[in-house]
Every structure is written in C-alpha cells, then in structure tokens.
C-alpha cells in the first residue's frame, strides 16, 4: 500500500543520509540500522532542549568506534526526524577505532586521547582539544601545546592546528634480521674506530 511504501522509503532515506555513517572510517557496509550504546553511572535528559548528559564512567560502544570519558553531552536535532546533531565528550577522553588492513591482515588500531572531543554530525568531523594525541600502530602524533587542535574527518584524515610532534617508527623486516651477517651491519652497530694518536 502507499503508506507502507512511504514509510519504507523514509526509513531507507534516513539510513542513507545518516550523518554518523562515516564517523571514523569507511562506515558500515550494511543497510541495517546502527545501534549505539551509551553506558554511564548517571544520566540526565531534557526533552525541551533535546539534550542528554551522561556522567561518571561514560562508555560508548558503536560498530565504528569506542569512546570513554568522564562526561558526554549529546545534542539531538529538533523536529520529527530526530537524529544526533553534536556530541561533546569531556575529561579523560579516549577514542578507539579499528581500520581494516587492505592486505587482509589484522586491523590497525587508532587511539586518540584528549581532554575534550567534539563530534559534529553534519560534517562527520571529530575535534580533539586539550593536549590531544593520536596513535595508529607504532606511529604517534602528539600536541606540544595545550592549545593545539586535531581534527579527524570522516575519511580518517588528520589535520592539526598548532604545534605538534610526530613519531614515525619502523620495525625491522623479519627477513632482513634473519639473514644479516656481520658484513651487513649498519655503521651504528660497528665498533668505534681507534682514537687518533696525539701529535
């Protein structure tokens, strides 16, 4: 019937336009609804202002990411089709997501830490403030000022505004380690040359 088709079309359009589809990566590859669970010791809801405030040991479990913080304020859009507009996590913020390995190996974990994280649903951006740092695999990107802001967009691209330090670490290849001979050692591994005689 016509009302059923309209309801199905509205539901599918709502899923297709979901602002959280690409929160920290490529999003879900399914047309199934997404369930986000928020755990906290305390919760407050104000339906007139369309906000929810979660506090004390806040934990968010979502198929795209996990988050923990001391406090989480969620802003919901007003109107008939209510959805997430913005979320602000404050205090000891930790954010974890898995990025699939294109080679088919185990996924890479990306971990972000900050004093405050703000998610804007319209853009899919997550803004980390308060000496933020992001680690992916062995590599680390660290703010060197509390005023530095890091923005992770919906395509997992990181932009930093302010002073920062990047540490890129490389593991030695297993093959090279196994076949190295004394003649192949790097200059840093050779013993120092004898001191020159004094004139």
Q: Are 160 and 141 in contact (CB under 8 A)?
A: yes
pLDDT band at 4 (very low <50, low <70, confident <90, very high): very low
Statement: residue 143 has pLDDT above 90: yes
pLDDT tens profile 98-141:
777 788 888 878 899 999 999 888 888 889 999 999 998 889 99
Cα separation, 119 vs 95, in Å, equals: 12
Please answer whether residues 59 and 96 qualify as being in contact, where contact means their C-beta atoms are separated by less than 8 angstroms: no
Higher pLDDT, residue 176 or 170: 170
Element (H, E) at 42: strand 42-46
CATH topology of domain 37-169: lipopolysaccharide transport protein A fold (2.60.450)
> Distance of alpha carbon 12 from its chain centroid, rounded?
27
Is there a contact between 107 and 101 (Cβ–Cβ < 8 Å)? yes
134 DSSP β-pair partners: 112, 141
| Cβ-contact 91, 67 below 8 angstroms | no
**pLDDT, mean of residues 49-65:** 91
Q: What is the DSSP string of 166-179?
A: EE---PPPHHHHHH
> Concatenated DSSP letters for 57-111?
EEEEEETTEEEEEEEEEEEE--SSS--EEEEEEEEEEEEEEEE--TTSSPPEEEE
pTM over 0.75: no
Pairing mode of beta strands 65-76, 51-62: antiparallel
Which SS3 state, helix, strand or coil, does residue 23 take? coil
DSSP 29: S
Q: Break the chain into its structural domains and give their ranges.
A: 37-169
pLDDT at position 152: 86
Contact between 44 and 56 (Cβ < 8 Å): no
Q: How confident is the model at residue 31 (pLDDT cuts 50, 70, 90)?
A: low
Looking at residue 30, its pLDDT comes to 53
The DSSP output letter for 33 is P
For residue 89, what pLDDT is reported?
Answer: 98
- Tell me how many degrees the CA angle 47-88-145 measures, rounded to the nearest 5: 160
Return mean pLDDT, the chain: 77
- Partners of 105 in beta bridges: none
Over residues 60-79, mean pLDDT: 89
Three-state DSSP state, 185: coil
Higher pLDDT, residue 113 or 175 = 113
């Amino acid at each position: 019937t016509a009302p059923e088709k309209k309801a199905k079309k509205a539901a599918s359009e709502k899923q297709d336009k979901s602002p959280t589809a690409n929160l920290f990566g490529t999003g879900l590859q399914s047309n199934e609804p997404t369930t986000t669970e928020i755990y906290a010791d305390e919760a407050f809801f104000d339906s007139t202002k369309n906000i929810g405030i979660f506090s004390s040991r806040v934990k968010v479990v979502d198929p795209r990411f996990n988050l923990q913080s001391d406090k989480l304020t969620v802003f919901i859009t007003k109107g008939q089709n209510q959805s997430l507009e913005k979320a602000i996590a404050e205090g000891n913020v930790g954010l974890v997501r898995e990025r699939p390995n294109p080679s088919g190996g185990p996924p890479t974990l990306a971990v972000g830490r900050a004093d405050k994280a703000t998610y804007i649903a319209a853009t899919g951006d997550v803004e980390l403030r308060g000496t933020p740092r992001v680690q992916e695999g062995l590599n680390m990107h660290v703010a060197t000022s509390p005023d530095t802001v890091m923005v992770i967009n919906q395509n997992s691209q990181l932009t930093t505004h302010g002073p920062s330090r990047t540490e890129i670490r490389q593991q030695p290849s297993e093959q090279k380690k196994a076949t190295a001979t004394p003649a192949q050692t790097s200059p840093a591994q050779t013993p120092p040359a004898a001191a020159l005689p004094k004139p």
